[in-house]
Amino acid sequence: MIIRSFEPRDLPRLTRLTIETFGPFYEDSFRPLVGELVFTRQHGRWREDYRALLAALHAPEHGKHVAVADLDGEIAGFAGWEIDPARERGTVTLLAVGAHHRRGHLATDLCEHAFGHMRAHGAVYAEIGTGGDEFHAAARALYESLGCIRLPVAVYFREL
């Protein structure tokens, strides 16, 4: 496996991978939890939102970077991050690993790659976030294993 910089030809695969990775959260977890009204207004266009996000995720001239984990020509996962030089902060904005490649330390390698790049470009701390629900339990465990400190946050929704 090699971790390499994003190339424009990677975009369709990264889009599919992201939708495959996060579809179960939106459809099987978030939708039933909050109901149709909140789901539709908050994340009803989640696929389109990811398509737009991914198209702009890699813009090195604006401090935005994407690295892909390439296994013999197959993209097994990727990480996207940005660096804010004024705050000396790096932020992992998106991390996804294909279902068949999970539990093999690929996400750890991608995070460490992103953290190393952030450090090399002046960041002195990093931010990475995930959900507090069961779907995101593996991500929380990963981030804590990397030495990240969990900040308790609560978000509430209510139909009016």
| Per-residue tokens: 92 | 């992992």
The verdict on residue 150 lying in a domain is: no
Strands 125-128 and 89-97: parallel
pLDDT tens digits for 9-44?
Answer: 999 999 999 999 999 999 999 999 999 999 999 999
Task: State the pLDDT at residue 113.
Answer: 98
The verdict on residue 97 lying in a domain is: yes
- Number of separate domains in the chain: 1
Sheet holding 64-71, edge to edge: 2-5, 64-71, 74-84, 89-97, 125-128
The verdict on residue 157 lying in a domain is: no
**What is the residue range of 57's domain?**
2-145
The β-bridge partners of 90 are 83, 126
Please say whether the beta carbons of 12 and 80 come within 8 A.
Answer: no
pLDDT tens digits for 98-139?
Answer: 998 888 899 999 999 999 999 999 999 999 999 998 999 999
Burial 24-46 (b: 16+ CB within 10 A, else e): ebbeebbbeebeeebbeeebeeb
CATH of the domain at 127: 3.40.630.30
Q: Which percentage of the chain shows pLDDT scores above 70? A: 100
Q: How confident is the model at residue 155 (pLDDT cuts 50, 70, 90)?
A: confident
Predicted model pTM: 0.92
